[in-house]
A = this chain, B = another copy of it.
Amino acid sequence: MADNVWFTEFQTDDVTLGLRVKAVLRQETTPFQELLVLDTDAYGRVLVLDGAIQTTDRDEFVYHEMMAHVPLSLHPHPRRVGIIGGGDGGVLREVLKHPEVEEAHLVEIDERVMAASRDFFPALSVAFDYARAHLHVTDGIRFIQEAAAKFDVIIVDSTDPVGPAEGLFGPAFYQSVFAALGEDGIVVAQSESPLLEPELVKKVQRGLRSAFPTVTLYLGAVATYPTGLWTFGLGSKKPLATPRQVSGLDTRYWTAEVQAAAFVLPPMVRELME
Q: Does A147 contact B (CB under 8 A)?
A: no
In the complex, per-residue mask of A247-274: 1 if CB is within 8 Å of any chain B CB, else 0: 0000111110110111011111000000
Which residues of B have CB within 8 Å of A266? Answer: 62, 221, 252-255, 258
The listed residue with most B CB atoms (<10 A of its CB), out of A195, A196, A257, is A195
Q: Does A138 contact B (CB under 8 A)?
A: no
Q: Does A19 contact B (CB under 8 A)?
A: yes
The listed residue with most B CB atoms (<10 A of its CB), out of A8, A59, A223, A251, is A223
Q: Interface size class for chain A?
A: 35 or more
Stretch at the interface among A10-18, A167-175, A177-185: A10-18
Choice from B8, B17, B196, B264 contacting A258 with Cβ under 8 Å: B264
The residues in A between 144 and 180 inclusive whose CB is less than 8 angstroms from any CB of B are none
Check if A13 sits within 8 Å of B20, measured CB to CB: yes
Choice from B20, B223, B268 contacting A196 with Cβ under 8 Å: B223
In the complex, per-residue mask of A4-29: 1 if CB is within 8 Å of any chain B CB, else 0: 00101000111111111000000000
In the complex, A266→B59 CA distance in Å?
Answer: 13
Q: Which residue of B has the minimal Cβ distance to A223? A: B227
Which residues of B have CB within 8 Å of A264? Answer: 257-258, 260-261
In the complex, A261→B255 CA distance in Å?
Answer: 13
Min distance, Cβ A6 to any Cβ of chain B, angstroms: 7
Q: Does A58 contact B (CB under 8 A)?
A: yes
Binding site for B on A (CB under 8 A): 6, 8, 12-20, 40-42, 58-59, 61-62, 193, 195-196, 219, 221, 223, 227-229, 251-255, 257-258, 260-262, 264-268
Check if A196 sits within 8 Å of B42, measured CB to CB: yes
Choice from B14, B17, B62, B219 contacting A16 with Cβ under 8 Å: B17
Q: Which residue of B has the minimal Cβ distance to A18? A: B16
Are A6 and B17 CB-contacts (below 8 A) given A223-B227, A227-B223? no
In the complex, A262→B265 CA distance in Å?
Answer: 11
Which residues of B have CB within 8 Å of A15? Answer: 17-20, 42
Check if B20 sits within 8 Å of A40, measured CB to CB: no
Which residues of B have CB within 8 Å of A193? Answer: 223
In the complex, A264→B260 CA distance in Å?
Answer: 9
A-B contact pairs, 12 of them (CB 8 A): A13-B20, A14-B19, A14-B40, A14-B41, A15-B17, A16-B17, A59-B195, A59-B227, A62-B266, A195-B223, A223-B229, A261-B264
Min distance, Cβ A261 to any Cβ of chain B, angstroms: 4
Q: Which residue of B has the minimal Cβ distance to A66? A: B266
In the complex, A267→B249 CA distance in Å?
Answer: 12
